[in-house]
Amino acid sequence: MSESTLWAPWRIGYILGNDSGKEDGCLFCRLHAEKEDRSNLILKRTEYSFAMLNRYPYSSGHLLVLPLSHIADLDELKDKAFIDLMLLLKKSIEVIKQAMQPGGINAGLNMGAAAGAGIAEHLHFHVVPRWAGDHNFMPVIADTMVMPQHLDSTYEMLKPFFDKSS
């Protein structure tokens, strides 16, 4: 059997804890405040919310949809912010369907660390496009995910769809 190498250099920051939300303050608040949408993978901003690519995706096209407010629980959102967040979540799912034509989509949120939220202090929805056979044996035997598309390519594919939306 020949040995093969799977290169995923963007994961080293996550592994070392340099780019995983383990910083002082809130990662999501910082990314939004920086106004560096391309480098921070932010695809869309609305009055109360924003959508961005997940830097450590489960699948190509994995998005995060977040309120601007630094809150941990859905109950804390005011009505206008809640509606804005839900509309952006809906738009994000529409964009994924149009741009990537997945066989299905997982969409949801994990509120609290016990529910699996990696950054529990800032509420965020996950939108994960799925295809038949998109995950193989690698996560099971090697604790490794294989991403067939680079984040930069995914950003370039999705951004025009978000730009067309109001």
> Is pLDDT at 77 greater than 60 in this prediction?
yes
Q: Which residue has the higher pLDDT, 39 or 59?
A: 39
Domain assignment of residue 7, yes or no? no
Q: Which secondary-structure segment (H or E) carries 157?
A: helix 151-164
pLDDT tens digit sequence for 40-50? 999 999 999 99
Domain assignment of residue 113, yes or no? yes
Domain assignment of residue 96, yes or no? yes
Block residue for tokens 């961005």: 52
pLDDT tens digit sequence for 83-106? 999 999 999 999 999 999 999 999
HSE-CB at 84 with a 13 A cutoff on CA atoms is 18
Catalytic one of 124, 126, 135, 150: 124
Domain assignment of residue 106, yes or no? yes
**Catalytic annotation on 122?**
no
Residue 80 lies in domain: 26-129+141-164
Domain assignment of residue 50, yes or no? yes
Domain assignment of residue 117, yes or no? yes
Q: CATH number for the domain including 109?
A: 3.30.428.10
* Total domains, the chain: 1
Token digits of residue 92: 């994000």
The number of angstroms, rounded, from the C-alpha of 139 to the middle of its chain's C-alpha atoms is 19
**The pLDDT of residue 146:** 54
Burial of 158 (0-12, 13-18, 19+ CB in 10 A): buried
pTM flag (> 0.75): yes
Domain assignment of residue 15, yes or no? no
Domain assignment of residue 102, yes or no? yes
